[in-house]
Amino acid sequence: MKKFDKDRLLLGLAGPALALVVAFLLTSVVLLLSGRDPVEPYTLMFENAEFTDVQVLILNQTGTYYLAALAVAIGFRMNLFNIGVDGQYRLAAMLAAVVGASIELPGPLHILLIVLVAMLVGALWSGIAGFLKTTRGVSEVVSTIMLNSIATSLIAWLILPANLGVQPAGSNDLTTGEIAESGWMPGLDVEGGSIYGFTLIAFALGVVYWFVLNRTRFGFDLRATGESESAAQASGVDAKRMVLTAMLISGAVAGLSGMPLLLGQTHTYSLSFPVGVGFTGITIALLGRNNPVGIFFAALLISFLEKTSASLDQYGYEKEIATIMQGLIVISVVVSYELVRQYGLRRQQQKVGEELAAQARKNKEEVAA
């Protein structure tokens, strides 16, 4: 077992911390340049976070983003860039809602079925990209982006009342019909609202993710293939199969990211189901360095920014301030991780150099003696 390395931990934390400080300062510069108070928006955001209902909102959003980011991270660990998490998530949520609304089963079974359908659909959709990559060598970046658009059109067609959709009387919305109450997942009722049950499952999946990647042979193979496909192949790993498997798992987890909202609140997929979750997931996975704890805090941070900035426009500030800040965080993260990596590398070289020099000195003394 590896010895606990304080330097490594510090360096690991330095990256995101540096990025946050830089993003924070740059946002203040933007505010100053546009002639605004550079501090007040932050105070307003923190005041907003004191409301219990905003806290519940943040936590629930964190759960959704956590799942999306895990889906992205699984791909990242394998050197696969799954940009299609958004499409996989939407299609999975939609079809799971359709299946959930069309049958009635005893409570836990109903929920389990909805969840399974979501995972299968998500895996199927990402599996197309995985299949194309392994058989035809199509870049997963290109194919998943395209699959996002295809998912959009497919959902638009499927949700028409002539197909699977339902238009409630008097409504201008299209839904998939309401899931019977047996398919509603109970939440944790706290002051200010209800924490979706699936939000807690999302965090539990983080532990599973950590265990599978770091403590199983499969996880080792996956990471090895991500580091170097040819090396992994030489040591007996079927790289193609790993690509396909990783893509399928990534899609299945992406399919789960719609579940907190679907099972906990809306109980139907409608035109106003959130979009863009998968893209935010990429930001979060990047910020959290594919580490389950890191991703959790990154998801919490992004949700905090989003939810507390929502009411800024009522105080005369554009809420896009938070969007600017998110963008700046992504840029600073990339830059600061590289800076910290180079610094760490230099330090390591120095340290090794010193140790070698000390060893050499010692040898000399021994010879002299």
Sign for the pseudo-dihedral over CA of 219, 224, 229, 234: negative
For residues 8 and 40, what is the distance between their CA atoms, to the nearest angstrom?
Answer: 36
Of positions 319, 324, 327, 335, contacts another protein by CB under 8 A: 319
Q: Can you read off the two tokens belonging to residue 112? A: 């389990």
301 is a contact residue toward another protein (CB under 8 A): no
CB of 90 to another protein, least distance (A): 7
**Among 24, 81, 203, 220, contact with another protein (rule: CB under 8 A):** 203
Three-class SS of residue 211? helix
CB of 173 vs another protein, minimal distance in Å: 5
What does the alpha-carbon distance between residue 197 and residue 176 come to, in Å, rounded to a whole number? Answer: 22
**172 part of the interface to another protein, by CB under 8 A:** yes
> How far is 231 from 305, CA to CA, in rounded Å?
42
Positive or negative CA dihedral for 249, 252, 257, 259?
Answer: negative
| Under rule CB under 8 A, residue 49 binds another protein | yes
Q: How far is the CB of 314 from another protein (least distance, A)?
A: 6
Residue 159 binding another protein, by CB under 8 A: yes
The one segment of 110-118, 237-245, 270-278, 351-359 that binds another protein by CB under 8 A: 270-278
With respect to another protein, which residue has the nearer C-beta, 52 or 228? 52
**CB closer to another protein, 90 vs 133:** 90
Which of 50, 106, 163, 236 binds another protein (CB under 8 A)? It is: 50
> Within its chain, how far is the Cα of 20 from the centroid?
18
- Count residues contacting another protein (CB under 8 A)? 60
Q: 189 — phi, psi (to 5°)? A: -75, 120
Of 23, 81, 5, residue with least CA distance to 302: 23
Q: Closest CB to another protein among 115 and 322?
A: 322
Q: Is 44 in the site for another protein (CB under 8 A)?
A: no
**Segment contacting another protein by CB under 8 A, of 9-17, 32-40, 131-139, 258-266:** 258-266
CB burial string 49-58: b at 16+ within 10 A, e below: eeeeebbbbb
Q: Is 70 in the site for another protein (CB under 8 A)?
A: no
Burial class (CB in 10 A: 0-12, 13-18, 19+), 201: middle
Q: Is 162 in the site for another protein (CB under 8 A)?
A: no
Residues 319/306, Cβ–Cβ less than 8 Å: no
The answer to the question of residue 43 lying near another protein (CB under 8 A) is: no
d(CA 369, CA 365): 6
Question: What does the binding site for another protein look like in residue numbers (CB under 8 A)?
Answer: 1, 49-61, 90, 152-153, 155-156, 159, 167-174, 190-192, 195, 203, 206-207, 210-211, 215, 261, 265-266, 270-277, 292-293, 296, 300, 306-307, 310-311, 313-314, 319
